[in-house]
A and B are shown apart, each in its own frame.
Chain A
């Protein structure tokens, strides 16, 4: 067919799919697709942010107290870890654009390690919550509430429900991101990504930054409420 004659001879090496005319068109389409996907992700997290906003404005005092029971130092350390992972991700993208195969692999592995550190710290924080009976359910109890009655304990549970839902969904996205990084590392080692073709590194980089930004919002909303109130 005539349309196939326009395809370049080294179709496989440029990975140009048959529905596209040029590599630039394909890259544009993939990039736009990723941005739209990230918009759907914003709407997805948006439901949780809405629920958080509603309940925090309904029960500001209890939320502030509940917030202080989370360890802000672990949270701050994790923020630094995640921001650094964004840096290494950008460096990987840059290396891909320059076609530096060994540097791509190196920076991707660094990103993966930092992501792993983040998840490890997160798991430790969750375990602490378990030890302190801060998991919503029959055994739930939070110290320091005034008045400390069934009603405010209920509201405090609501805070932790949101805490686990939001950080849980975020961690789930980190795990997906780690899987994607592993895929990139394998492919990069095979020399798949060159100065001409590096779209997957670029797009998974976008995804990684997005997950990072979600955390940038989660950290103050969940860890720093008490400090917001000016105490």
Chain B
């Protein structure tokens, strides 16, 4: 966070390199968030551009109370919501979403096949947008619930409720599937 503030400080003082550094640092995370929220790569790229243009213009007036990543993630979520409102993006268009990687296996994470990922994406798409947004901002962008509440100007309990209801619905839709995926993984091993 401190490094971000220094980069922001340098950018405010005219360093375009600092801006490029910020962009390079967060572009993929933010694009991933935008795609996850919009299910539309083109809309996600538009959101990414709008957010960074706005950020460049407003950098002087920006007073960060959270991390820069949280701030930019919130901007992405707001922008995607705007775009969705304008374009009425409601349907899940799996073929427009990014290619799904299957070769990554990180500690304490599940190995995920394309099919599994598609099932989760489908389940996520069934959630009301505001629940999906809270879940992604928390689990994808690492934002604290309090930060989300402040950025959305709602009560902390509201955010917690959305998160809890969202997870409940996902659990209901994915009931039993995780265990079966784990079993598949063990048999492959």
Question: Does A pair with B?
Answer: no
- B binding-site residues for A, Cβ under 8 Å: none
